[in-house]
Amino acid sequence: MTYAIEVRNVEKRYGALQALAGVSLAVAQGEFFGLLGPNGAGKTTLISVVAGLTRASEGEVRVMGADVVADYRHARRMLGVVPQELVFDPFFSVRETLRIQSGYYGLRGNGAWIDEVMHHLDLTAKADANMRTLSGGMKRRVLVAQALVHRPPVIVLDEPTAGVDVELRQGLWQFIRRLNREGHTIVLTTHYLEEAEELCDRIAMLKAGRIVALDSTRKLLETFSGLLLRLRTDRDALPEGLQAEVLPAEEGRFVLRLRDFDALEQVLHRVRETGAVIRELELEPPDLEEVFLRVMERH
């Protein structure tokens, strides 16, 4: 099987700093894959290795079967990367920037696709505007357009919605979802965990250059998370002996972290035994933020 991205035992060292410490993962063709981790976890370093911008100290990486070192021309043609940093040439308009990007890949007559990309990213009105006159959000849209201009089968988005407005975020995800439905592989890094939970089929979590969790989004939610119970009673304290973790909360309210629904029933039974009256009760299902925090605490 040819994977969209295959990473095998990749290490990256900068002197004494170990940025990546034996990372291995495989992203299937057509998958929507999430890469999450705190700042400094190694996400951008890994993306740089995949994109051929940084050479790994050890290990190998392939994009659509092409080694990023030995067959770098083919590998880079298969990949489109939206970088985290706003990098642009201040001397060209938006349309000129995208035409030049097409030229890097030897593409001619690419105007119709450039127009379509600009339309979906709401850049049409700014097509002839100079890059230096654009807002930060508009510049980020152009970075996305540059990554898509050669229609790569694999698209890597490194914090694509950082600092952009809600309207662009929604429009961008509609377009990216469409590309994914059409068969493009998407790899996303983001600090907006609700985006990853909604969009990604599978998620890898990095910490200190190592993968500490890798599974489908559904299984991660089932395995690492629990339930949050928000409770207000007519008492000043909860009964003793509850089999639950009590979290900080406002005065007169209690927040408990529960393992599962059986633990919920035990808590409610214990509260009823004391004769306390429940004034408010709210149960929050597991979310990816809770999973992320638990995974990071464990490693």
What CATH number is associated with residue 40?
3.40.50.300
Per-residue pLDDT tens digits for 63-87: 999 999 999 999 999 999 988 777 7
pLDDT at 236 over 90: no
Say if residues 296 and 38 touch (Cβ distance below 8 Å): yes
Mean pLDDT of 42-57: 93
Say if residues 34 and 217 touch (Cβ distance below 8 Å): yes
How is residue 41 annotated by DSSP?
S
What CATH code is carried by the domain that includes residue 237? 3.30.70
Q: 230 and 243: one domain?
A: yes
CA distances from 1 to 6, 26, 29, 201, 222 (A): 11, 11, 10, 19, 29
Helix (H) or strand (E) holding 295: helix 288-298
Angle (nearest 5°) at CA 140 between 162 and 111: 150
Strands 185-189, 66-67: pairing is: unpaired
Q: 209 and 257: one domain?
A: no
Q: Is residue 262 part of a domain?
A: yes
Q: Is residue 165 part of a domain?
A: no
Enter the tokens of residue 147: 């990554």
Percent of the chain with pLDDT over 70: 98
Q: Which residues pair with 207 in a beta bridge?
A: 210
Q: Which domain holds residue 243?
A: 225-298
**What is the C-alpha to C-alpha distance for residues 172 and 159, in angstroms, rounded to an integer?**
12
Q: Is residue 90 part of a domain?
A: no
Say if residues 205 and 212 touch (Cβ distance below 8 Å): yes
Q: 263 and 199: one domain?
A: no
pLDDT at 22: 93
Per-residue pLDDT tens digits for 127-144: 999 888 888 888 888 988
Q: 287 and 216: one domain?
A: no
Burial of 212 by CB count in 10 Å (0-12 exposed, 13-18 middle, 19+ buried)? middle
pLDDT at 225: 64
**pLDDT category, 172, cuts 50, 70, 90?**
confident
CA distances from 166 to 170, 171, 186 (A): 6, 9, 21
Q: 218 and 232: one domain?
A: no
Say if residues 82 and 156 touch (Cβ distance below 8 Å): yes
Lowest mean pLDDT among 9-18, 176-185, 197-206, 243-252: 243-252
Q: Is residue 115 part of a domain?
A: no
What rounded mean pLDDT belongs to the chain? 88
**pLDDT category, 61, cuts 50, 70, 90?**
very high
**What is the C-alpha to C-alpha distance for residues 67 and 227, in angstroms, rounded to an integer?**
44
Q: Is residue 45 part of a domain?
A: yes
Burial of 106 by CB count in 10 Å (0-12 exposed, 13-18 middle, 19+ buried)? exposed
Q: How many domains does the chain have?
A: 2
Q: 245 and 214: one domain?
A: no
Q: 287 and 214: one domain?
A: no
Q: Is residue 242 part of a domain?
A: yes
Q: 218 and 273: one domain?
A: no
**pLDDT category, 259, cuts 50, 70, 90?**
confident
Burial of 153 by CB count in 10 Å (0-12 exposed, 13-18 middle, 19+ buried)? middle
pLDDT at 47 over 90: yes
Q: Is residue 291 part of a domain?
A: yes
Write down which residue in 197, 224, 251 finishes a domain: 224
Q: Is residue 10 part of a domain?
A: yes
Q: 243 and 281: one domain?
A: yes
**What is the C-alpha to C-alpha distance for residues 115 and 39, in angstroms, rounded to an integer?**
35
pTM score, two decimals?
0.82
Mean pLDDT of 11-24: 93
Write down which residue in 199, 224, 249 finishes a domain: 224
Its sign, for the CA torsion 25, 29, 33, 39, is positive
